[in-house]
Amino acid sequence: MKEPLRAGVHVAAITPFTADGGIDAPYYARLLAHFEANGAQGVVVAGSTGEGPSLSAPEKAQLYELAVQAKGTLQITAGVLVCSLDEALYLARQACKVGCDALMVAPPFYYSTGTKGLIDFYKAVLDASRLPVILYNIPQRTHHKITPELIDALLEHPNLLGVKDSSGSVRSMNRFLRYTPRLRVWVGEEKLLLQCLQRGGAGSISGLANVYLARMARLCEAFQRGEACDGLQSLIDSAADIIDAFPAPANFKCALTLAGFPETHVRPPLENLSPEQQRNLKARWIGLD
């Protein structure tokens, strides 16, 4: 049996692309080694920051496999951000086949549907999956919320692991935290990391961790030791303010060049940062503590 998904920081990893638009496998392997060295517990592959909706199903499966091959001690969660139930089931099979540790599944994001439709979708994935499943609450992208009614309908399923809440709302986070310890709760809003831990949450699945991982991992470690973490949280808040002033995930790809990684672009319809934006981000980022 696989080790349960660990508490702490799991990086919502970018997806690097080659000049001709393919997945840059050597870059990705180097990136995961960097995350492991800087305290990550795991990596989420092909999530929002990883441009999952811009990847074909075979590309997602390829990326899952690349991540597993390069993971070292990291745990690998396969992002499943799709509209098609058949594609979700295909990705669940592929993630299990290549050795991923969990799935992170967003609500289907094209059609408007009620709670029953979402329950049916998630039950089908949970029933078919041989991996534990994290529900992904990101209503600003999917226009569907993971509601208490939905969770209550799924709560007894043995494959349901937890929730990632990227709403940015303290109220939303607290609503999910009421389900602990039955469910593990990670936040996507890094400014809520310390609050999440203090209230029994598992940590963060974080885009910011692509470029500010060491401080975030240190906060989680300090919290577990019972040390004061407010200063570290303030540093994380400042980093989030800087990076969030620029469009994601191009902002993370730009900032990674300051850590010695090659330049890599986003896929259409996303846009790369303009030269002026790149200069501004780098100037502000270099000034971080």
Rounded to whole angstroms, what are the CA distances from 125 to 105, 112, 121, 205, 251? 9, 19, 7, 21, 32
For 181-239, the pLDDT digits (tens) are 999 999 999 999 999 999 999 999 999 999 999 999 999 999 999 999 999 999 999 99
Q: Residue 214's pLDDT is what?
A: 97
**Cα–Cα distance list, 21 to 56, 185, 229, 255 (Å):** 12, 34, 41, 20
Tell me which residue of 24, 33, 7, 1 sits closest to 253, measured CA to CA: 24
* Catalytic (active-site) positions: 136, 164
User: Strands 203-206, 133-137: parallel, antiparallel or unpaired by DSSP?
Assistant: unpaired
pLDDT, averaged across the chain: 97
Q: What percent of the chain has pLDDT over 70?
A: 99
**Domains in the chain, ordered, with CATH?**
8-225 (3.20.20.70)
Structure confidence at residue 135 (pLDDT): 98
Q: What is the pLDDT of residue 278?
A: 98
Q: Which residue has the tokens 């496998």?
A: 25
Q: Which tokens sit at 56?
A: 């074909």
Residue 34 has pLDDT above 80, yes or no: yes
One-letter amino acid for residue 130 of the chain? R
- pTM of model > 0.85: yes
pLDDT above 90 covers a percentage of the chain that reads: 98
Mean pLDDT of 23-33: 98
In angstroms, the Cα distances linking 4 to 7, 98, 184, 245, 287 are 9, 17, 11, 35, 38
pLDDT-based confidence at residue 4 (cuts at 50, 70, 90): confident
Q: Give the residue among 16, 38, 86, 31 at the shortest CA–CA distance from 218.
A: 38
Confidence at 1, pLDDT banded by 50, 70, 90: low
Alpha helices (runs of H) in the chain, residue ranges in sequence order: 25-37, 57-69, 85-98, 115-128, 139-142, 148-154, 170-177, 193-198, 209-224, 230-243, 250-256, 275-286
Which tens digit of pLDDT belongs to each residue from 99-116?
999 999 999 999 999 999
Question: What residues have CB less than 8 Å from 204, skipping those under 6 apart?
Answer: 9, 10, 186, 187, 188, 190, 193, 196, 216
Q: How far apart are CA 235 and CA 253, in angstroms?
A: 20
- Mean pLDDT of all residues in 62-86: 98
Residue 141 buriedness (CB in 10 A; 0-12 / 13-18 / 19+) = middle
| Separation CA 187–CA 11 (nearest Å) | 12
> Per-residue pLDDT for 289 more than 80?
no
Mean pLDDT along residues 245-254: 98
Per-residue pLDDT at 287: 83
Specify burial of residue 231 (Cβ count, 10 A radius: 0-12, 13-18, 19+): exposed
Please say if the pLDDT value at position 2 is more than 90.
no
